[in-house]
Amino acid sequence: MNRVRVLLAWLLLCLVLSASVQAEARENLIFINGQKLITQQTPFLTNNRVLVPFRAIFEAVGAEVHWDENSEKITANKGQTKLAMIIGSSTASIDGQSMLLDVSPQIVAGRSFVPLRFVGEALGFAVTYDQASGWIFINQQEVDFGPQEARQQLALKNTVYGIKVGDSAAHVVARLGQPARRDEIDLGFVWWIYNQDYANYLQVGIKNNRVVALFTNAPSLQFNGLTIGSSMSDLTKQYSFAGQLTFTLQGATFRLDPVSKNRYLDIQGDTAYIFYMDIHQGNTLTAIRILNLETLILSGLYGYRYSFFEEPEVTRFVTVGSAIDRTNHIYALQIFDLTNVIRHRFGLPLLDWHQSLSQVASAHSMDMSRNNFFSHVSPATGSPHDRIQSGGIGHRVAGENIAAGQADAAEAVMDWMNSLGHRRAILRDTFQHLGVGVAGTRETSRYYTQKFIGN
C-alpha cells in the first residue's frame, strides 16, 4: 500500500511539473520590432484580449503618454495620431473619433492596463499572435524580418492599401486616416469612404469595429501582384473560378453558383474575393471586392441555397424601414464617386455633382420602382429630355443611364461599364455635371438613374 501511495504521489508530482512546464511555454511574451517587452507588472488575458501596463507599451512604441489621475484618462501621441482612453470605458478615441473597445482599460493592483492589440493597431503597428508559442509580435508596417522585398510582400499579402478583411477600425485609421464619409447602409455595416484622391479611392466596410468588406476600382490598385488591367490568366494563377462554391457559416451549409460574364468569385478560408472584369478592355481586371462570408450572404450579390439544423442568423436579417431612404441616397453618392474614379482613370475631366439633376434622377427611379416598369420613357413624365426640361435645367448636351436589380452602387456602375451605350455616357468628354437617384429596396429591387449634362 505504501508503495502504491508513493507511486501515486510521484505521478502527481510529474503531472504538476509537466503542467508548470507547459504553462511556462505558453507565457505571452511580447516582442516590439524584434525586442522583447520588459514590464514590471505581468500582462494578463481577459476576454481573449491581452492587457499590458500602459506606460510600458506606449513608451516602447515611441509614443508620448500622459496619465490624468483625477479623470483616470490616458492620452498618447505618436506622430499625427492622438489616442485617448479612460479606465473602465468601453470606448476610446483616435484623433477625436470614437471607437468601441473589445475590452476596457483596467486598474489592477494599483496599476493601469490597456488592451495591447488596440493600442498597437491604433498607432500604426501590425499585431500578430503566434498560436503555437503564445507569443505576440508588434511591428511597424515597414519593419519586419528578412530582405526588403520579402518584407513588402508580407505586409501587402491579401491587403488593399495595407488593409485586409478582419483588421480593426483603429488599424484603418492609423493606416489611412479618417474617411471623408461614413455611409451607414441597410446591411448592418458602415462603408468608410476614402475619396479624397480618386487615384487611391477605397471603400472600407466596418462592422463591430472590424473590417468586413473592401471595394476599389482605383487606378493605383495593387493586390497580391494584380493591378487594374491584369488578365484572366494572371488571376487564375492564384484563384480558382470553377463551378459551384460550398462553405459553412453559422452552422449552415451554403451553396453559391457564381456564374457571371464579368465578375469572378473565389472563396479562400473565411474570405470571399470578387474580381470585376472589363469586357471592353480585353476582359481585364477593373475592380476588386473582398468580403467576409457573412457580408457575402447579406450583400445579395449571389443567389444561394442552404441547409441547416437551426436557421442561421445571417438569413434572418431584415432591413429596418428607416434605413432604406438613407441607403438609396448613399448609393447615389457612391455612384457619383465611382463614376469619377473611372473618368480619372481614362484621363477625362471630373464631373460636378448637380443637385437639381439628382432630384430629377431620383424622381425617375422612384417612378420606375412604384409603377413597376424599366424604361427611359415614362408614361407619366415622358422622355429623359422632357424630365430635364420640366426641372428647368439648362443644358446643351444630355444623357441618361438606368439600371435595375443590382445589389448596390458598385454593381450598377460595373454593369454600366460593360454595356457599350452606358459606357459611352460615363466616358463622354463633353459632359460636365452628373445627377444620380436611387429608389427601391434590397428585398424587392433597386432602380438606379444617372443623368449627365454639358453646356
Q: Give the pLDDT mean for 244-271.
A: 89
- Provide the pLDDT confidence category of residue 32 given band limits of 50, 70 and 90: confident
Domain termination residue (choose one: 139, 167, 194): 139
Could you tell me which residues come within 8 angstroms of residue 150 by beta carbon, excluding any fewer than 6 positions away? none
> CA torsion sign, 148 to 154 to 155 to 157?
positive
DSSP 260: -
Residues 307, 361, single domain; the answer is: no
pLDDT at 441: 92
Which residue(s) pair with 307 in the sheet?
Answer: 253
Number of independent structural domains in the chain: 3
- Whether residue 215 is contained in a domain is answered as yes
Looking at the predicted structure, is the pLDDT value of residue 11 above 50?
Answer: no
Q: Give the pLDDT mean for 151-166.
A: 72
Percent of the chain with pLDDT over 90: 59
* Of 222, 234, 59, 82, the residue nearest 155 (C-alpha): 222
pLDDT at 144: 37
Q: Give the pLDDT mean for 281-295.
A: 97
Looking at the predicted structure, is the pLDDT value of residue 356 above 80?
Answer: yes
- Whether residue 134 is contained in a domain is answered as yes
The helix or strand, by DSSP H or E, that contains position 102, with its residue range, turns out to be none
pLDDT at 8: 40
DSSP 181: E
Residues 112, 208, single domain; the answer is: no
Looking at the predicted structure, is the pLDDT value of residue 77 above 70?
Answer: yes
The mean of the pLDDT values for the chain is 87
The segment with the largest mean pLDDT, out of 21-25, 106-110, 215-219, is 215-219
Residue 166: domain span: 157-316
Residues 210, 308, single domain; the answer is: yes
- Whether residue 12 is contained in a domain is answered as no
pLDDT at 36: 81
- Provide the pLDDT confidence category of residue 3 given band limits of 50, 70 and 90: very low
Top-confidence residue, 130 or 248: 248
pLDDT at 131: 67
Q: How big is the CA angle at 101 (ends 83 and 25), to the nearest 5 degrees? A: 100
Q: Give the pLDDT mean for 279-287.
A: 97
Question: How far is Cα 50 from Cα 58, in angstroms, rounded to an integer?
Answer: 15
- Whether residue 193 is contained in a domain is answered as yes
The answer to whether residues 261 and 279 touch, using CB atoms and an 8 Å cutoff, is yes
Of the listed ranges 69-78, 113-122, 133-142, 333-342, the least confidently predicted one is: 133-142
- Whether residue 51 is contained in a domain is answered as yes
Domain termination residue (choose one: 273, 290, 316): 316
- Whether residue 16 is contained in a domain is answered as no
Residues 277, 222, single domain; the answer is: yes
The answer to whether residues 65 and 59 touch, using CB atoms and an 8 Å cutoff, is yes
- Provide the pLDDT confidence category of residue 141 given band limits of 50, 70 and 90: low
Looking at the predicted structure, is the pLDDT value of residue 416 above 60?
Answer: yes
The answer to whether residues 77 and 64 touch, using CB atoms and an 8 Å cutoff, is yes
pLDDT at 23: 36
C-alpha grid cell for residue 64? 508620448
Percent of the chain with pLDDT over 70: 89
Q: Give the pLDDT mean for 431-454.
A: 96
The model's pLDDT over 56-66, given as tens digits with 9 standing for 90+, comes to: 898 888 889 99
Residues 43, 132, single domain; the answer is: yes
Looking at the predicted structure, is the pLDDT value of residue 13 above 70?
Answer: no
Give the end-to-end CA distance of the chain in Å, rounded to a whole number: 105
Residues 172, 308, single domain; the answer is: yes
- Provide the pLDDT confidence category of residue 6 given band limits of 50, 70 and 90: very low
Domain termination residue (choose one: 295, 316, 337): 316
- The CATH number that applies at residue 438 is 3.40.33.10
- Provide the pLDDT confidence category of residue 388 given band limits of 50, 70 and 90: very high
Residues 177, 311, single domain; the answer is: yes
- The CATH number that applies at residue 38 is 3.30.457.10
The answer to whether residues 201 and 212 touch, using CB atoms and an 8 Å cutoff, is no
Residues 296, 440, single domain; the answer is: no
Of the listed ranges 103-112, 137-146, 220-229, 322-331, the least confidently predicted one is: 137-146
3-state SS class at 25: helix
Q: pTM of this prediction?
A: 0.76
- Strands 352-353 and 433-440 come out as parallel
3-state SS class at 321: helix
Looking at the predicted structure, is the pLDDT value of residue 420 above 80?
Answer: yes
Residues 328, 311, single domain; the answer is: no
* Of 207, 205, 208, 131, the residue nearest 410 (C-alpha): 205
**CA 111 to chain CA mean position, Å:** 36
- Whether residue 25 is contained in a domain is answered as no
Residues 173, 294, single domain; the answer is: yes
Which residue(s) pair with 400 in the sheet?
Answer: 451
Top-confidence residue, 244 or 166: 166
- Whether residue 230 is contained in a domain is answered as yes
pLDDT at 341: 99
Residues 335, 300, single domain; the answer is: no
Looking at the predicted structure, is the pLDDT value of residue 166 above 80?
Answer: yes
Residues 131, 242, single domain; the answer is: no
